[in-house]
Structure 1
Amino acid sequence: MSKLTHVDTQGNANMVDVEAKMATTRIATAEGFIYVNAATLDEIIHHQNKKGDVITTAKIAGIMAAKQCSNLIPLCHPLMLSKVDVGIDIEPENSRLRVTSMCKLSGKTGVEMEALTAVNVALLTLFDMCKASDPAMRMEGIRVLSKTGGKTGDWTHPNESDAK
């Protein structure tokens, strides 16, 4: 059995010490989907949602969330992100919106959690803004698509191409 990294010798929760790690450029991308009914999708496309600009609000929420990741998830390191990008693509043929995020920094620990947090909060914001017209929305497929940097190097989700 391998040694647990987030538990000290007494079994207590412990933030990993990354001081000895080499700083590298680290990038992570993530995605998730929200499925909506046709009327809600039409409201989004034609900017007719009563709460305002659904897409822009969700993008800003995702960016803000990535910057707050260490305040939300225990034992995450506070990171000095150099770039956060949140994209939202409307896919009417699938009755869904695809949310993507990319987080980047030069540092000693990865940014996968920040990318996932950005996607999740953007999806939650979409849900919140559209729940009056479609309370049956569902969120699915939240995952890391890729990461670069660090001692383990580059990684791409083995099924990265199946979601597009």
Structure 2
Amino acid sequence: MEENLQFTHINEQGEARMVDVSKKEATERTAIAYGEIQMNKEVAAGIKNQTIKKGEVLQVARVAGIMAAKKTFELIPLCHVIALTKCVIDFSWKSDQILSVQCVTKTVGPTGVEMEALTGANIALLTIYDMCKAMDREMNISNVCLLEKSGGKSGHFISRNQEVNE
């Protein structure tokens, strides 16, 4: 027996559409995204000692991630414009050569902020790659995922991928 799947971003004629969220209740919504970048020892030391020639890598990546989260609607065609009330980008060293990023986004509104958190984390990682690529073109971005989201009709979600953050 086949299920009748309803795609929320496709109308009855099969055309792409933005979902109408005007009748949804405005609730506090939060999302946490995560990702990692693995690099060689020289790059890791340069980031830690702030000796990368292009500048202070983590501060530039933090600002880039926040800016990207705010502009998610411009990058992903069917995303809504969301007034973020919070966007925090944090970095931590998972090992000597693996740097992790966590992006927390928050709003009060009728739709979630998962895409904003994922966009912020990804762009922060890509900015690190861009600033350090002259020293290591084999850097590897991985484990990008949504760790958690809360608010809205679907409630609280905690990913099974939570252990990547530990």
TM-score (norm 1): 0.97
Give runs of aligned pairs for residues 1-164 of structure 1, distance below 5 A: 1-93=4-96, 95-164=97-166
The RMSD of aligned alpha carbons is: 0.9
The percentage of counterpart residues that share the same residue type is: 44
Cα distance in 2 for partners of 1:84, 1:131 equals 26
Separation of aligned partners in 1, 2:94 and 2:133: 19
CA contact 1:6–1:14 (8 Å) conserved in 2: yes
Unpaired runs of 5+ residues, structure 2, are none
Measured after TM superposition, the shift of residue 32 of structure 1 is 0.3
Q: Distance in 2 between matches of 1:4 and 1:47?
A: 47
Asked whether the 8 Å contact 2:143–2:164 carries over to 1, the reply is no
Q: Which amino acid aligns with 1:161?
A: E
CA distance in 2, matches of 1:151, 1:59: 31
Cα displacement string for residues 43-68 of structure 1 (whole angstroms, at most 9, x for unaligned residues): 11111000000000000000000000
Q: Is the 8 A contact 1:41 1:92 kept in 2?
A: no
TM-score, normalization: structure 2?
0.96
C-alpha distance in structure 1 between counterparts of 2:29 and 2:64, whole Å: 22
Report the AA paired with residue 138 of structure 1: N
Deviation at 1:19, TM superposition (A): 0.8
Specify the code of the residue in structure 2 equivalent to 1:97. Answer: L
